[in-house]
Amino acid sequence: MYQKVFKRTIDFIISFIGFILLVPILLLVTILLAIANQGNPFFFQIRPGLNEKLFKIIKFKTMNDKVDEKGNLLSDDKRITGIGKFIRKTSLDELPQLINVLKGDMSLIGPRPLLPEYLPLYNSEQKKRHNVKPGITGWAQVNGRNAISWKQKLALDVWYVEHLSFFIDIKIIIKTVQKVLQSDSINASTKTTMNRFKGNN
């Protein structure tokens, strides 16, 4: 009942109120990133959602588009901007996804939406992560985020799908606030972003 009826209603109400209250911060971050990224403050990318249906996710853009002499993008560590580091550390880059939640593509709580090219790499158990809508935060994010292995992260995603409840979601929200305030487990080791998933079937 909670998953099929109340979760979507709660998602919409909280996201709508949150978006309205956060408009000043969203506008400020948009202006700062527009300056840092030469007029492009947002990052759009196709991600798989519920039942692997593709949608376009929106985030604040924390890295520029600088390339090497061959035209290849530089490493993430070399492209992340100064303001981008702060925005990522405070998880402000995730805030535009409130729009995805309002549209119904995402939930506030759920497995993080990953890249479409990972879909063929999941085993049958890991595929269960797409039995629910992806979220802005989730069980894996409050239990290690980028500091744990892909195998652990996907196992935590599946655990959430199999134990989804109102009380679990409340626990995740509380732990998310704690993690954000502590800037905990943002990066994997010393890297800016986590290594790409290569399958572990």
State pTM to two decimals: 0.87
What pLDDT tens digit does each residue of the chain (201 aa) get? 898 889 999 999 999 999 999 999 999 999 999 988 888 899 999 999 999 999 999 999 988 888 888 878 888 788 888 888 899 888 899 999 999 999 999 999 999 999 999 999 999 999 999 999 999 999 999 998 777 899 999 999 999 999 999 999 999 999 998 888 876 654 444 455 678 888 864
Contact 36, 88 (CB under 8 A): no
Q: Output phi, psi for 125, to 5 deg.
A: -70, -45
Contact 179, 142 (CB under 8 A): yes
